[in-house]
Structure 1
């Protein structure tokens, strides 16, 4: 096949302990997956109709990377999340089979232009400009299930400039990893290379130019970064 212009490189995330990279196909995110965060956003928790949205695959920023402060916002917010990377996909995946599709886990930030999101929510508009901007998906190296197994209840923490901002346990998620995969596969045909952001706890707040952040999924992965 001959392309009319040079194709873009495939975004890739380092796989811990190897010289390999995980090729990112799509990035799926779930909103309001911790009750305390839903409450701080004055939003209802919905077990029936979870909120999903997407980020571009090339929005990733790998570990220790600089994050440029995005345009068109004065309210850049951090949202720390457990990350799930899929080795295989499919449609209508049963909850009981969902974890068989997971390749690795990590930790990341769902960066949000909160002012743009608030405007979109007030008008009933999509969140694309608030969530899917350049460099909006910092992510750690990925740690393979074959090496670490599936994490049980893990502590999820974010510090900014050494100050604790967010802290939770992953068993506080409203939808489990298996349930998220099941629900997504009823809406999309999931594929190898898909990345899932599994929701954030309370404590979301401003990031400013010059801030340094440290995110940790205890016993699994850490993420460092700098807003420039």
Structure 2
């Protein structure tokens, strides 16, 4: 039996809808500006040639229904509603259709963003880590097995804050579809079970404050819910 200089962290996991077994999260990859309207609202050109990515650590994961203290180091926390794709095995790169066979499940997710820190990083052409990868920045709802949901098509994706609609689009408006993203990302990483891909957010992102209640929905999937508390 191995000994460690301190107790290792517990395995980060999220619920599977209707199952006792949980999904262990290994890594999180996020697709940037994958909806045309969102790219334009961020003042960026629409890039249809290839997706681009940033990452979140497993320690950023919290489950739907959590009460999250307003994160430190920011005065401009934004919501970004996304479809999460959870892999159950290695990606076959022979075609987008075969790549999709590696998907174990789908879920609703929030990519919470310290927008002011991200903006500063962009200005100085530095990485986005401080703006994107922090405790509580990846909120995941229970996953639904791919065999019970899909394919990704015209399902609506929405986000409401305190009952007011902020984001509303359809999944087929993604610039790069799930299969294409898996094909591209697998050129750079050995993807496998435990890897989660957040596939981008529609237009309508905006700031939230302590006391706000967020509810994100995608047709046929359990909603993702988050309440923001005062900074601890």
- TM-score, with structure 1 as normaliser: 0.96
Distance 2:21 2:153 in 1: 26
Tell me the number of residue pairs that the alignment of Structure 1 and Structure 2 aligns: 228
- Aligned residues of 1:91 and 1:188 also touching (Cα < 8 A): no
Q: Which 5+ residue runs of structure 2 have no aligned equivalent?
A: none
Distance 2:56 2:2 in 1: 28
Does residue 216 (structure 1) correspond to residue 217 (structure 2)? The answer is yes
What displacement does 1:95 show?
1.6
Q: Which residue of 2 aligns with 1:3?
A: 3
Q: 1:126 to 1:103 in 2, by over 3 A?
A: same
Give per-residue Cα distances to partners, 1:173-203, cap 9 Å, x unaligned: 0000001111110111102010110000110
- Aligned residues of 1:63 and 1:225 also touching (Cα < 8 A): yes
What displacement does 1:90 show?
4.2
Distance 1:138 1:185 in 2: 24
- Aligned residues of 1:93 and 1:181 also touching (Cα < 8 A): no
Distance 1:2 1:181 in 2: 35
- Aligned residues of 2:91 and 2:99 also touching (Cα < 8 A): no
- Aligned residues of 2:65 and 2:226 also touching (Cα < 8 A): yes
Q: Which residue of 1 aligns with 2:24?
A: 23
- Aligned residues of 2:92 and 2:99 also touching (Cα < 8 A): no
Distance 1:175 1:73 in 2: 31
Q: Which residue of 2 aligns with 1:182?
A: 183
- Aligned residues of 2:167 and 2:203 also touching (Cα < 8 A): yes
Q: Which 5+ residue runs of structure 1 have no aligned equivalent?
A: none
Q: Alignment partner of 1:180: what SS?
A: helix
Q: 1:162 to 1:183 in 2, by over 3 A?
A: same
Does residue 202 (structure 1) correspond to residue 210 (structure 2)? The answer is no
- Aligned residues of 2:152 and 2:172 also touching (Cα < 8 A): no
Q: Which residue of 2 aligns with 1:192?
A: 193
Distance 2:132 2:3 in 1: 30
Q: 1:164 to 1:130 in 2, by over 3 A?
A: same
Does residue 153 (structure 1) correspond to residue 149 (structure 2)? The answer is no
Distance 1:208 1:226 in 2: 10
What displacement does 1:94 show?
3.1
